[in-house]
């Protein structure tokens, strides 16, 4: 009985299998079917900008890509003197109108806006210029932190150099750079004048 069941199963599997091909051309895939490459209608890269932080030269790089320039995704990167990327972030350009024109951008305008985005807009050169985070408070005044209080206050105490860039209508994201280890930490977003 088991032998009959196994034979029936083998016969059923053979019947369901596709027939073997006699020619190689029936099984090969045309090159056009293997990959399709889509290029964005808007691809712009700003020249790298030298930024002096703590006496060392870092590079800020920005590029954007999208179906249209006014709906592109912008990327920002900070490189240490050794060339390593120590900070990277990306936003849709329409989410950061302080830096990007949300309507009518073309590649020329977007290139100018990207170049402006790589500019260090820190109001103070080091993190000790950021508002103190009082013990027991949810956050520092005018600042939305992305790190815990201990890390934020450690950056302030160490007077880490700051690289800040627009990240909203009236706010600037601030990155604390540890020049001894060539690392960077996004501390948060500063909106002076707002609680």
What residues contact residue 160 under an 8 Å CB cut-off, 6+ apart? 54, 126, 127, 176, 177, 178, 179
Q: What are the phi and psi torsion angles at 114 (to 5°)? A: -65, -40
- Closest by CA position to 192, among listed 170, 176, 166, 165: 170
pLDDT for the residue 37 = 38
Residue whose tokens read 């005018």: 142
Where does 83-157 have alpha helices with state H? 107-117, 149-157
Provide the phi-psi class of 12: left if phi over 0, else alpha when psi is between -120 and 50, else beta: alpha
Any idea what the Cα angle at residue 170 is, between residues 167 and 175, rounded to 5°?
Answer: 40
Alpha helix segments (H runs only) across the chain? 2-16, 31-34, 107-117, 149-157
Query: In this predicted structure, what is the pLDDT of residue 129?
Result: 95
The SS3 call for residue 167 is coil
* CA R_g for the chain: 27
pLDDT tens per residue across all 195 residues of the chain: 444 443 433 434 344 444 444 433 333 333 334 333 345 689 999 999 999 999 999 999 999 999 988 889 999 999 999 999 999 999 998 888 878 876 666 888 899 999 999 999 999 999 999 999 999 999 999 999 999 999 999 999 999 999 999 987 689 999 999 999 999 999 999 987 654
Q: Report pLDDT for 148.
A: 97
Q: What percent of the chain is helix, strand and coil (3-state, nearest 5)?
A: 25, 30, 45
Confirm whether pTM is higher than 0.85.
no
Tokens of 23: 């020619």
């Amino acid at each position: 009985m088991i032998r009959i069941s196994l034979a029936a199963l083998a016969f059923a599997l053979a019947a369901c299998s596709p027939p073997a091909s006699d020619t190689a051309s029936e099984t090969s895939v045309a090159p056009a079917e293997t990959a399709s490459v889509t290029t964005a209608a808007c691809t712009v890269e700003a020249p790298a900008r030298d930024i002096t932080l703590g006496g060392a030269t870092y590079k800020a790089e920005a590029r954007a890509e999208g179906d249209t320039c006014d709906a592109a995704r912008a990327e920002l990167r900070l490189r240490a003197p050794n060339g390593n990327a120590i900070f990277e972030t990306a936003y849709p350009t329409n989410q950061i109108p302080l830096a990007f024109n949300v309507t009518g951008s073309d590649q020329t305008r977007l290139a100018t806006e990207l170049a402006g985005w790589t500019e260090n807009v820190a109001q103070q050169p080091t993190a000790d210029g950021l508002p103190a985070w009082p013990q027991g408070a949810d956050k520092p005044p005018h600042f939305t932190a992305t790190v815990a209080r201990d890390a934020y206050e450690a950056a302030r105490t160490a007077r880490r150099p700051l690289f800040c860039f627009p990240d909203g209508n009236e706010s600037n994201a601030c990155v604390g750079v540890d020049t001894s280890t060539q690392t960077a930490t996004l501390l948060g977003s500063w909106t002076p004048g707002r609680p």
